[in-house]
Chain A
Amino acid sequence: MSRANAWSQWPDANGRFGEFGGRYVAETLMPLVLELEQEYARAKEDPAFQAEFDDLLTHYVGRPSPMYFAERLTEHFGGARIYFKRDELNHTGAHKINNCIGQVLLARRMGKTRIIAETGAGQHGVATATICARFGLPCVVFMGETDVERQKPNVFRMRLLGAEIVPVSSGTGTLKDAMNEALRDWVTNVSTTFYVIGTAAGPHPYPMLVRDFQSVIGREAREQILAAEGRLPDALVACIGGGSNAIGLFHPFLEDEGVRMIGVEAGGHGVTTGLHAASLTGGRPGVLHGNRTYLLQDQNGQIIDAHSISAGLDYPGIGPEHAFLHETGRAEYRTCTDAEALEAFQLCARLEGILPALEPAHALARVGEIARELGPDGLIVMNMCGRGDKDVFSIAAHLGVNI
């Protein structure tokens, strides 16, 4: 991998990152997936498209998001200097909106009149509903029944934004089932409907275009950390469900050999218990939801339900580019248990006055050990990809507090 752009050349013409990715969809969807790929190629070359995207990111989302030196956490851990890339300050409270804007602009270019999305924690659903309200597009959000229950505030927010919520009871009623149901809707309404996928997964070109839309995080972070510290960081840290916030942070640094990339998967009750969502650490390659990637599956190739305290990480797969970065060793992946995430959440609240979402709380739980590994001369950028307001009720329940 000595060639310039060796990392950023992926995916190849078949939508593959090494052996991962691809287009594993029903024939009904193939023409649409191919059309989306062509349209996205045109949009990328169209300055008007880029200008509209950038304008919305600036004036609607509030970008660039700040790069914040977490002084007290740095002191607390006694190691490397820790910065947060504060994507939790975006409009709607997470990085998800970056991608939703890009995809809805694509949908408009393609003349689609109806938007569907799946959601786990509800952040992607809220972001999609938000952009749909902004552009006057009808929006249907598929959400597992279990998640509807544990993410009530976001369900209400989506309804306020005019979206229709479809609770999904098939399968186990979580994110993967919501995605199945969204795919079923898409195949049924293929001529009018655009499926806004929430993470850097699914059939090609989704993993690529979601990554590209989210890469604004890494581009800003690169500039900001150079301005603040005069050098590149030693490590980037981000939580991984499907992995869109992580790939958005990592991608613009892939060619910078000295920058380590560390993804943190949801370890649930612990990877050895079988109750987790760590597809790279505890899974093996397979095919689901349009792409070849690492999956939680049994010996017969049946998908195993993921478990995480965080609905946003509760998914048995991972974006194919992460599978590739894992196999090639360009990025490292660690895990964090539910209990560690809860602890990190509380630590961040008390020391920094920031309530992280449960998702980035997973990343934060590993930041302490990484900071100590790097030592005081080290420099870390962690993606604070979402805010914790949505999790307040479920955290209270986990802590045994009645509110």
Chain B
Amino acid sequence: MTAERISAKFEACRSEGRAAFVAYLMAGDPDLDTSFECLKALAASGADIIELGAPFTDPMADGPAIQRAAQRSLAAGGSLAATLDIAARFRLEDKVTPLIVMGYANPVFSMGLTDFAERAAAAGVDGVITVDLPPEEDASLRQALAAHGLAVIRLATPTTTEARMKRVSDGAAGFVYYVSVAGVTGAAVGAEEDIRQGVERARRLSGLPVAVGFGVRTGEQAARFACLADGVVVGSALVEEVRAAVEDGAPKSAVKRITVVAQSLSNAISSARVVRSVT
């Protein structure tokens, strides 16, 4: 029953013969209001699904781009609670774009699993990714979220063997986030053939759509992944636009910058399979 908005979106993209564009932004970066505007800009520029990063002081699975985004957010008053507030504001205006909250376990435990699940559900969040909660540790979160129809999105990686993928699939919901390369967010992308096999395995064993992320920066890379997977996640490249805006001394210009980049990524992903089948 979980995460109907997520399934509906992947289904819609499939029927249009294209991959879903999954866009990541850090909530509260560069400040709470601007990040809300950026979120709306993403949805208006072709993002099919939005991952809303919840800031954490110690983001051990993230590369420098998202580490800095978390620090900017925290400095501007960002938190898990503020992330859910931004999600709620977004949901008032947009009823169709699935929202995934992505972050680390400690702020979630600190809020309390029951509180978190209630507040996330009330905010219109559809799914949750906690990077440091592998299947062995996420049972209590899954239980709390399931009571509200929210999905725990599982991650699969190049180190996920066939046997391990069965473990990851057991209890997976929404979609599987396939990490393209052993590394942190924003790292170099992995080899295409390895990714193809990893995505195929994740899809076969989980029965869920698979989105590929980590290291997708350019439209060209996004297009390649759009031919392999049901969704393509772009994070660091968008987050770096916020940084550029801040460094220009014009944080509000992040909205315009994000719009431009998101549109180009969306076009690349939408047309990828057409281009591939022609050439």
Contact = CB atoms under 8 A, between A and B. Distances in A.
A22 interface: yes
A402 interface: no
Interface in B72-86: 74, 79-81
A183 B182 CA distance: 12
Interface in B5-21: none
Interface in B119-165: 131-134, 136-137, 154-161, 164
B67 A190 contact: no
Contacts, number: 118
B106 A187 contact: no
B171 interface: no
B223 to A, nearest CB: 25
A286 B109 contact: yes
B279 interface: no
Interface stretch (B56-64, B93-101, B225-233): B56-64
Interface in A291-328: 295, 297, 299-303
B60 A301 contact: no
- Most chain B CB neighbours (cut-off 10 Å) among A31, A179, A295, A301: A301
B159 A28 contact: yes
Contacts of A190: 159, 182
- Most chain B CB neighbours (cut-off 10 Å) among A14, A26, A297: A26
A301 B159 contact: no
B272 interface: no
A303 B106 contact: yes
A302 B183 CA distance: 24
A24 interface: yes
Contact of A26 (B136, B155, B164): B155
Given A24-B132, A27-B156, A31-B159, A295 B106 contact: yes
Nearest to A35: B159
Nearest to B164: A31
A27 B182 contact: no
Contact of A287 (B57, B81, B105, B156): B105
Contact of A301 (B61, B110, B183): B110
Contacts of A184: 60-63, 184
Given A184-B63, A287-B109, A302-B107, 7 more contacts: A27-B157, A27-B159, A170-B67, A184-B62, A286-B106, A287-B104, A301-B80
B107 A176 contact: no
B48 to A, nearest CB: 23
A23 B136 contact: yes
Contacts of A187: 61, 182-184
Contacts of A22: 136-137
A170 B156 CA distance: 27
Contacts of A171: 57-58, 67, 71
Contacts of A183: 60-61
B108 A301 contact: yes
A21 B206 CA distance: 29
Contacts of B155: 26-27
Q: Which 10 A-B pairs have the closest CB atoms?
A: A301-B110, A301-B107, A188-B183, A300-B79, A28-B157, A27-B155, A287-B105, A183-B60, A303-B57, A26-B61
9 contacts: A14-B136, A26-B61, A31-B164, A180-B60, A187-B184, A287-B132, A301-B56, A301-B108, A301-B109
Interface in A264-299: 285-290, 295, 297, 299
A50 interface: no
- Most chain A CB neighbours (cut-off 10 Å) among B79, B154, B184: B184
- Most chain A CB neighbours (cut-off 10 Å) among B62, B105, B158: B105
A188 B136 contact: no
A359 B61 CA distance: 30
B111 A301 contact: yes
A191 interface: yes
A30 B79 contact: no
B3 interface: no
Given A170-B67, A190-B159, A287-B132, A27 B107 contact: no
A70 interface: no
A300 B83 CA distance: 12
Interface of B: 55-64, 67, 71, 74, 79-81, 104-111, 131-134, 136-137, 154-161, 164, 168, 179, 182-184, 187
A303 B79 CA distance: 12
Interface string A239-261: 00000000000000000000000
A395 interface: no
Nearest to A301: B110
A32 interface: yes
A24 B111 contact: no
B171 to A, nearest CB: 13
B183 A27 contact: no
A392 interface: no
A30 B136 contact: yes
Contacts of A288: 58, 106
A320 B156 CA distance: 27
A31 to B, nearest CB: 5
Contacts of B81: 300
Contacts of A43: none
Contact of A30 (B62, B104, B164, B187): B164
A339 interface: no
Contacts of B168: 27
A180 B60 CA distance: 5
A334 to B, nearest CB: 26
Interface in A215-261: none
Contacts of B104: 287
A31 B56 CA distance: 25
Contacts of A188: 182-184, 187
Contacts of B159: 27-32, 190
Interface in A180-213: 180, 183-184, 187-191
Nearest to A286: B106
A31 B81 CA distance: 33
